[in-house]
Every structure is written in structure tokens, then in C-alpha cells.
Amino acid sequence: MVEITGIDQNKKTVYYDNGDSVSFSQFNEAFSKFFSKRIAGETLDPSSIEHFMRRTSAKNLSLLMKGKKMEGYMEGRQGKMLTPGMKIAIGTIVTLSFVALIVFVVLKQQGMIPGF
């Protein structure tokens, strides 16, 4: 087994204990090639699906799907925080506030509200 003895960042070279050296790009390529399709040291291929499916139960799958459904529902609702009824209520409150402000200003100008 060959081990890395050093890395020269200035030359962008990786040195091994057997005297070989490679560039960073060659090292990254070899590293990626070694770990592609591997999870926890196991090589994955189409027949591996049964290995993972045996570990799951129908209940776990059902809970996963419920979680995904709720996650999708929440993402969809994020842009629609106000229902139409809430929009009407807020619009009514704002309109009544403006009407009350206008009435207050008119009555003040008429002298019917002293002291302001």
C-alpha cells in the first residue's frame, strides 16, 4: 500500500513514499475514480438495490413519503401566506383607518375637536 508522504503547494504536486509524484489534477482524478459509486466502502451496482431495500420496511417508506408530501406542501404554501379572507380583512382595516384619519382631519379643521 502506497502512502502520501508530502504535498508541495507551490509546485502543486503530491509525493508518495515509493518515490512517485503526481500533480493535483491527476491526484483528484484518481481519487474521484476510486470513490465513484462507493458508499461506506461498498461498491454500488444495480443488484445492490435489494441490499438496501431489505433494510427498509413498508412503515419507514410510508413515513418517508408522508414527510416528503408535507415538505412539498410547505414549500408550495410559502408563497401564499395570506388567504383571500385574510387579504380582505387587512384591506378593510386599512381602508377604515384611512377613512377615520380623514374624518379626524376634517373635524379638526372645522374646530369640532379642540386641543390638537
Please state the rounded mean pLDDT for residues 91-101: 96
- What distance lies between CA 9 and its chain's CA centroid? 34
Percent of the chain whose pLDDT exceeds 90: 17
- Average pLDDT of span 87-103: 95
Q: Which of 36, 9, 39, 7 is nearest to 21 (CA)?
A: 7
pLDDT tens-place string over residues 32-47? 777 776 666 566 666 5
Mean pLDDT of the chain: 78
Tell me which residue has cell 507551490: 10
Alpha carbon distances (Å) from 84 to 23, 72, 87, 88, 89 = 62, 21, 5, 6, 9
- Bridge partners (DSSP) listed for residue 12: none
Q: Which residue has the higher pLDDT, 20 or 115?
A: 20
Q: What is the pLDDT of residue 100?
A: 96
